[in-house]
Amino acid sequence: MKLIGALENLLAGALLAALSGALVVSTTRITWPYFNRLGVRQTEAVEVRERF
């Protein structure tokens, strides 16, 4: 069930990008422990999505 949910999210994101004509870059497995220079912590579960 977890894999199916992840696939649905991925496909929905790809469809949204295709319809809007955007390039979407998703970055996962970020091992840097801080979100910013102020020292805000983040986990390896963080995902960054950029639309161009």
Contacts of residue 9, Cβ cutoff 8 Å, sequence gap at least 6: none
pLDDT at 30: 82
Cα–Cα dist 27/6, whole Å: 15
Mean model confidence pLDDT for the chain: 74
In degrees and rounded to multiples of 5, residue 50 shows phi and psi of -120, 135
pLDDT band with cut points at 50, 70 and 90 for residue 21: confident
pLDDT at 47: 83
The conformation of residue 33, written as its DSSP 8-state character, comes to S
pLDDT band with cut points at 50, 70 and 90 for residue 41: very high
> Domain-by-domain residue ranges, the chain?
23-52
